[in-house]
């Protein structure tokens, strides 16, 4: 949907701006944050204006310094036309939700004038309402968190390399902001701190044009819509085919991958991220790595968009790892509230539990086997149990890895407790992994709860009762390598 909106924005801008004089375009470009507008020719200037307006180019901080421009005036009709193009762009962006952005107010008559000292090198932006400075302020984007009862926007990748923007309580109440919302806003510096002045979008939707439910009180239904793991024209792996036909995960399910050490758990998680992202373009795929090695983080970086990928390494403190897990879960909830299908893939829930178990928040309960606190189990159940499908639309699917047979009794406690609330289990076997069988899946132990799907029940029955006793797991993997459609699978199973 975003691609169509960007295409319309580019088309409308080209049609209008290509007819305008470059001396009108340059002061406008400087005002919206195009870098070095006086050094660009007309074609480059238009491309950068489109990029800034569409969000593909980050605007620079608007400065009064720069080379002089011959024209000191931006015609009001120019800004009015650009405002109309923006409204058309936002309408296309939100068409899928059945809503539209409307604003009957005309664009203000921004005028670019020199200072009283006639310094040609210093420009200021003015209009009668004195709002031009705010209009041309840079746009910032981040996730809303409450730290010490102060609302602020944190970079979406949860790293410390971005600026933090403070959001006032007034803006939080006016826009019904909730922790975890992805917010775009205009902000300006005040005493070395960025303060949000205007909220533009919430979770990619223009403010005042959306409605949403409350995550904990909205009506929940049994998951029924399947996630896709294979796609025509794409090179689908054996594991993708297995998930599509023999372990079909529904949107809103709580699914876990239970694996002993060295069974290929991280490799399967990597494969899941690639296939779910490629085969479900309308779904939001969020990836969480907890306490991983830098090599693993680098590997996932190649397939996971930066803004949808949160990670911690073994160098991070337990509090930091728990914060990262909660940070991404809150965003997933906010997206699901607004009717979007969200898939949260975690490697791993076991490590997240151990991190929480080392924090002060876990103290005060009963200590279980392996030193696991009862509050840790409650935290993990609440985290994993966030998966659900809403009757009004939208869902949150959680695919989390769990470690088993590690020799640590605490891990066995975690697996046992998570299995009680999971409605999908993918079980891996270390013996198959040692024989270099990939994926090392145990179909007889794998279980997926599917409501009212006769086709799946028939396929699953033939697999367990007829095919596996005769051909085993390796025979199943060879079968999946040779087929491309479900009809071929059913034909092969019925012949065995």
Question: Quick check: 470 pLDDT over 80?
Answer: yes
| pLDDT for residue 5 | 75
Question: Quick check: 74 pLDDT over 70?
Answer: no
Q: How far apart are CA 399 and CA 377, in angstroms?
A: 18
- Crossing angle of the two packed helices 42-54 and 76-93, in degrees rounded to 10: 50
| pLDDT for residue 232 | 82
Indicate the range of 89-98, 169-178, 383-392 predicted with least confidence. 89-98
Question: Quick check: 134 pLDDT over 60?
Answer: no
Q: Which stretches within 67-198 are classed as H helix?
A: 76-93, 132-135, 169-174
| pLDDT for residue 136 | 54
Of 399, 388, 358, the closest CA to residue 375 belongs to 358
137 vs 67, higher pLDDT:
137
Question: Quick check: 32 pLDDT over 50?
Answer: yes
Query: What b-and-e string marks burial along 295-324, b requiring 16 or more CB atoms within 10 Å of the CB?
Result: ebeebbeeebeeebbbbbbeebebebbbbb
Per-residue confidence band for 73, with pLDDT thresholds at 50, 70 and 90: low
Q: What is the pLDDT of residues 265-303, one digit of tens each?
A: 888 999 999 999 989 988 999 999 999 999 999 999 888
Q: How far apart are CA 101 and CA 209, in angstroms?
A: 6
Indicate the range of 10-19, 34-43, 58-67 predicted with least confidence. 58-67
Of 342, 347, 348, 367, the closest CA to residue 357 belongs to 367
Indicate the range of 9-13, 151-155, 272-276, 294-298 predicted with least confidence. 9-13
| pLDDT for residue 397 | 95
| pLDDT for residue 99 | 54
For the entire predicted model, the pTM comes to 0.72
Measure CA 359 to chain center.
27
Pairing mode, if any, of strands 150-154 and 165-167? antiparallel
DSSP state of 227: P
Q: What angle do CA 252, 253, 259 make, to 5 degrees?
A: 145
SS3 category, 343: strand
Q: What is the token pair recorded at 400?
A: 């989390």
Of 179, 216, 204, the closest CA to residue 327 belongs to 179
Q: What is the pLDDT of residues 418-468, one digit of tens each?
A: 999 999 899 998 888 888 878 888 888 888 887 677 788 888 888 888 888
Considering only CA atoms, give the Rg of the chain: 27
59 vs 136, higher pLDDT:
59
Question: Quick check: 80 pLDDT over 80?
Answer: no
| pLDDT for residue 1 | 46
Contacts of 243 (CB under 8 A, 6+ apart): 229, 249, 272, 275, 426
Domains and CATH numbers, the chain: 1-135 (no CATH), 137-210 (2.40.50.140), 220-452 (3.40.50.300)
Of 343, 201, 182, the closest CA to residue 269 belongs to 343
Question: Quick check: 72 pLDDT over 60?
Answer: no
Question: Quick check: 104 pLDDT over 50?
Answer: no
Question: Quick check: 310 pLDDT over 90?
Answer: yes
> What are the backbone dihedrals phi and psi of residue 27, each rounded to the nearest 5 degrees, phi first?
-65, -35
Q: What's the burial of 113, exposed, middle or buried (CB within 10 Å: 0-12/13-18/19+)? A: exposed
- Crossing angle of the two packed helices 238-245 and 468-482, in degrees rounded to 10: 120
Per-residue confidence band for 2, with pLDDT thresholds at 50, 70 and 90: low
Give DSSP secondary structure letters for 54-71. HTSSPPPPP-S-S---S-
Q: How far apart are CA 371 and CA 412, in angstroms?
A: 12
Q: How far apart are CA 218 and CA 390, in angstroms?
A: 7
Of 326, 324, 298, 300, the closest CA to residue 312 belongs to 324
């Amino acid at each position: 949907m975003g691609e169509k909106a960007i295409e319309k924005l580019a088309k409308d801008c080209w049609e209008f701006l290509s007819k305008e004089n470059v001396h009108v375009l340059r002061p406008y470009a400087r005002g919206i944050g195009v870098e070095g507008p006086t050094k660009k020719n007309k074609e480059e200037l238009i491309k950068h204006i489109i990029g800034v307006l569409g969000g593909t180019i980050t605007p620079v901080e608007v400065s009064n310094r720069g080379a002089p421009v011959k024209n000191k005036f931006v015609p009001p009709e120019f800004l009015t036309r650009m405002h109309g193009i923006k409204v058309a762009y936002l309408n296309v962006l939100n068409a899928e939700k059945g809503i539209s952005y409307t604003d009957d107010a005309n664009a203000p008559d921004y005028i670019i004038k020199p200072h009283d000292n006639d310094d040609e090198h210093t420009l200021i932006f003015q209009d009668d309402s004195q709002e031009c400075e705010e209009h041309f302020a840079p746009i910032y984007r981040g996730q809303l968190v409450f730290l010490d009862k102060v609302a602020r926007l944190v970079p979406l990748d949860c790293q410390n390399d971005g600026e933090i923007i403070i959001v006032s309580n007034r803006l939080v109440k006016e826009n019904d902001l909730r922790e975890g919302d992805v917010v775009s806003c205009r902000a300006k510096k005040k005493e070395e701190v960025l303060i949000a002045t205007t909220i533009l979008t919430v979770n990619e939707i223009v403010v005042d044009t959306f409605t949403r439910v409350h995550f904990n009180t909205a009506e929940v239904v049994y998951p029924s819509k399947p996630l896709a793991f294979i796609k025509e024209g794409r090179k689908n792996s054996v594991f993708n085919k297995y998930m599509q036909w023999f372990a079909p995960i529904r949107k809103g399910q709580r699914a876990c991958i239970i694996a002993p050490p060295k069974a290929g758990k991280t490799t399967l998680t990597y494969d899941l991220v690639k296939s779910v992202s490629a085969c479900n373009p309308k779904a939001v795929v969020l990836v969480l790595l907890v306490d991983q090695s830098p090599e693993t983080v680098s590997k996932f970086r190649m397939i996971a968009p930066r803004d949808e990928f949160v990670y911690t390494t073994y160098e991070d403190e337990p509090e930091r790892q728990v914060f990262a897990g909660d940070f991404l879960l809150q965003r997933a909830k906010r997206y699901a509230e607004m009717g979007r299908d969200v898939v949260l893939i975690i490697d791993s829930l076991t490590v997240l539990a151990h991190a929480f178990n080392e924090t002060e928040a876990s103290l005060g309960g009963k200590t279980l086997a392996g030193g696991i606190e009862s509050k840790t189990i409650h935290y993990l159940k609440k985290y994993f149990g966030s998966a659900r499908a809403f009757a009004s639309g939208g869902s949150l699917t959680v695919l989390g890895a769990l470690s088993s047979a590690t020799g640590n009794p605490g891990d066995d406690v975690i697996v046992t407790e998570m299995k009680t609330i999971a409605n999908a289990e993918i079980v891996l076997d270390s013996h198959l992994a040692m024989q270099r069988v990939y994926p090392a899946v145990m179909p007889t132990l794998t279980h997926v709860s599917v409501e009212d799907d006769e086709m799946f029940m028939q396929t699953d029955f033939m697999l367990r009762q007829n095919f596996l006793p005769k051909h085993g797991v390796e025979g199943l993997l060879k079968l999946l390598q040779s087929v491309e459609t479900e009809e071929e699978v059913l034909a092969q199973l019925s012949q065995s």
